[in-house]
Amino acid sequence: MTQLAQSKAAVSIVQAAPPLFELRGISKEFPGVKALDDVSFSVWPGEVHMLLGENGAGKSSLMKVLCGAYRADSGSFHYNGEKVEITSPADAQKLGIAVIFQEFSLVPYLDIAQNIFLGREPAGRVPGTIDRKKILADARHVLDSIGFDIDPTIRIEKLGVAQQQMVEIAKAISQNARILVMDEPTAALSDRETELLFALIARLKADGVAIIYISHRMAEVFSLGDRITVLRDGRRIDEVQPGAVSSDDLVRMMVGRSVDMSYPRTFAQTPGKVMLEVKGLSSSSGIAGIDLVVRQGEIVGLCGLVGSGRTEVVRAIFGADKATAGQILFDGQEKSGGPDEAARLGLALIPESRKAEGLALIRSVGDNLIVSALRKIFPRGFFDQGKSRQVAYDLIRQLRIVTPSDKQAVGLLSGGNQQKVVIGKWLAAGAKLFIFDEPTRGIDVGAKAEIFALIDRLVADGAAALMISSEQAEICHVCDRAYVMCDGRIAGELARHELSEENIVKLGMHHA
C-alpha cells in the first residue's frame, strides 16, 4: 500500500487549510438517553478519519446526524469554514455528504446503471423515457473513475456484497460526494475484496475525497486511518494520530463506561451439574465451532460486538436456525429439533425485542403469564378460569410484577415489568435454562437491578442462565463466567476473576 503511505504524507500539508467539514458541539438527546453529548469532529479533504467506539458509543447517531436522518438538538456544521444547516437528507446531499450504510440502498432487480442514477435518469426523446445510451455511458464513466470494471447492465441481485458496496460508492461519487461516510465497510468482505476496497479508498483520497470510516478492526484502524476519534457514551473522548497510540491505548479509551455498580449478585450456589453443553456448533447463519457450557446455578455471559454472532448462537441452540454441525446437549440429553422441542425440554429464550417476540401486548398480564404453560396447568385440555388466575397471581407475587391487576394489558406496564412477565411466562412453563438476549435493553436503571436480582434468584433456585449483553459492565458484575465472540467464533472465555471491560473489548476486537 505505497499509495496509502504517500497520501498519508500529503495530509499534514493539507491540514493547514480549514477542514472540509466540521461539526462543533453536536448534541442529540432521546428520551432518557444522551446519544451525542457535545461532539466535535472534523475532516480534511484526502484523509481517512477513523471513528472508533463500543456498541452504543454514539457512532450511529453521529452518522445519522451527518446524513440528515436525525436533527441535532444543538451544535453547528461548517463546510469549508462556512456555517451550514443539515436538517434533511437533501441538505446533506447538497453538501456532498454520502453515507454508505451496512444495509445497502440498492434496488435488487434494477441494473447497476439504473441504481447509480436512480431519480436522476437522463431523459430520452419521448417524455418520461430514459436515454439508455447516456445512462450506460454515464455509469461506465463513474465506474471507471473508481476503477471498478464491470458491465453496468448487470442487475444488483447478481452481485456479491463487495460489488454492491462498489456500486454504492459509485452512486455516491456520481452525486459529487466529497465526504464519504462508511459504516464498517469490510464487515462482510473477504480478504481479497477488502484489498480492492482499500485500493479504492486510496484512489478516492488522492482525488481529495474526505472519508469518515467506522471500524471495529484494529488492523485497519492503524493501516488506513490518518486520524482516529474515539467516542464513548456519546462523548468524544479524544482525537489521536495512529502513530502516537497503541491498540491497548485505544481500548482503554473505549471502555470505562460509568455505570451504577450496585447490581446484586449473591453467588448463592456453587455451580452444579451441566445444564447445557454445546460442542462444535455451526449454523447456516455464519457461526462456527462454538463450544460452551452452562451449569446449574450459573449466569454465563455471551459478549462481543453487535454482529459478532451472539444472537445467532442463541438461535442455533434454541433451534430457530438449523445447525449444520455439532451437538447440543441439554441436561445430558441430545437436542436436535426446533424451538418447540427446546420449550418442551425447559429451555427458555427471552428475546431482545420483547414487544415483537415475547409478549402479546394487548392481552392481559395473566394471559401472557400462563400462555406457555397451558398444557402443564391444564393437562386435560379444559380451561379453568380460577386455576389460571391462581397461577398468575402466584407469579405476580413471586416476581414482584407491579401491575394493578392480572387483567391489565401488558402493553401498559413499564419495560422492566414487561420483562418480568416474559420471565414469568417461561417460569410457569417449567423452564430450567433461561437465555437472555439483551435483558436490560430499554429498561431504566432501577428496574435493571431488579431484573438482575430476579435472575439471581432463578439461578439460586437451581436454574441456569446464559445472557447476551452489550453492556460489558453488566456482564462483569453479574456473570460467573463469560464467552467473548468475534466473527462468528468464540474468541475466548473469561473466568470470574478475569472479567473486566478491557479484557472483553480486547478479545472482541478484530486483530487480524
Write out the DSSP string of 469-495: -S-HHHHHHH-SEEEEEETTEEEEEEE
The grid coordinates listed for 284 are 447456516
Among 9, 13, 32, 119, binds other proteins (CB under 8 A): 119
The grid coordinates listed for 268 are 448463592
Pairing verdict, β 179-183 and 210-214: parallel
Determine, following the binding rule CB under 8 A, whether residue 268 of this chain makes contact with other proteins. Answer: no
Q: Which is nearer to other proteins, 74 or 284 (CB)?
A: 284
Neighbours of 69 (CB within 10 A): 16
Q: Which residue do the cell numbers 432518557 mark? A: 32
Please state, in angstroms and rounded to a whole number, the distance separating the CA atoms of residues 338 and 345: 11
Q: Which is nearer to other proteins, 148 or 378 (CB)?
A: 148
Among 148, 222, 267, 378, binds other proteins (CB under 8 A): 148
Burial of 17 (0-12, 13-18, 19+ CB in 10 A): exposed
Among 1, 33, 84, 110, binds other proteins (CB under 8 A): 110
Please state, in angstroms and rounded to a whole number, the distance separating the CA atoms of residues 125 and 179: 35
Spell out, one character per residue from 65 to 104, where the chain touches other proteins: x when CB under 8 A holds, - when not: ------------------------xx--------------
In the complex, least distance from residue 470 CB atom to other proteins, rounded to whole angstroms:
25
Please state, in angstroms and rounded to a whole number, the distance separating the CA atoms of residues 5 and 168: 26
Q: Which is nearer to other proteins, 109 or 382 (CB)?
A: 109
Comparing C-alpha atoms, which of 338, 332, 191 is closest to residue 273?
A: 332
What is residue 211's three-state secondary structure? Answer: strand
Comparing C-alpha atoms, which of 97, 476, 113, 493 is closest to residue 294?
A: 493
Among 42, 115, 174, 440, binds other proteins (CB under 8 A): 115
Interface with other proteins by CB under 8 A: which range of 11-19, 128-136, 376-384, 428-436? 128-136
Interface with other proteins by CB under 8 A: which range of 78-86, 106-114, 305-313, 388-396? 106-114
Q: What is the DSSP letter of 363?
A: S
Determine, following the binding rule CB under 8 A, whether residue 325 of this chain makes contact with other proteins. Answer: no
In the complex, least distance from residue 391 CB atom to other proteins, rounded to whole angstroms:
37
Among 2, 31, 149, 243, binds other proteins (CB under 8 A): 149
Determine, following the binding rule CB under 8 A, whether residue 322 of this chain makes contact with other proteins. Answer: no
Determine, following the binding rule CB under 8 A, whether residue 61 of this chain makes contact with other proteins. Answer: no
Determine, following the binding rule CB under 8 A, whether residue 159 of this chain makes contact with other proteins. Answer: yes
How many binding residues for other proteins (CB under 8 A)? 29
- The single-letter code of the amino acid at 83 is K
Residues contributing to the site for other proteins (CB under 8 A): 89-90, 105-110, 114-115, 118-121, 124, 128-130, 132, 148-151, 154, 157-160, 163
